[in-house]
Amino acid sequence: MKRKLSPKKERFLRFVKGFIKQYDRPPTFFEIMNGLGFSSLGTVNWYVRELERDGYLIRGGFNAKRALYVSEDKDEENYRLPLLGLISAGKPLESIEDREYIEVPLSYVHPDNFVLRVKGDSMVEDNIQDGDFIIVRKRATAYPGQTVVAFINGEATLKRYYPSKDGVELHPRNPAYSIIKVAPEDDFRIIGVVLFVFRKYK
In the chain, what is the greatest distance between 2 CA atoms, to the nearest angstrom? Answer: 53
Residue 184 has pLDDT above 70, yes or no: yes
* Start and end residues for every CATH 2.10.109.10 domain found in the chain: 78-198
Contacts of 23 (CB under 8 A, 6+ apart): 143
Eight-state DSSP code of residue 124: G
Q: Give the pLDDT score at 91.
A: 65
122 is catalytic: yes
Q: Give the pLDDT score at 95.
A: 67
159 is catalytic: yes
Single out the residue of 181, 73, 77, 57 nearest to residue 127, CA to CA: 57
Report the CATH architecture of 7-70: Orthogonal Bundle (1.10)
Catalytic option among 2, 65, 122, 164: 122
Q: Give the pLDDT score at 60.
A: 56
Eight-state DSSP code of residue 101: E
Catalytic option among 9, 107, 159, 165: 159
> One-letter amino acid identity for 201?
Y
CATH number (2.10.109.10, 3.40.50.1110, 2.60.15.10, 3.40.1790.10) of 78-198 reads 2.10.109.10
| pLDDT range class, residue 75, cuts 50, 70, 90 | very low
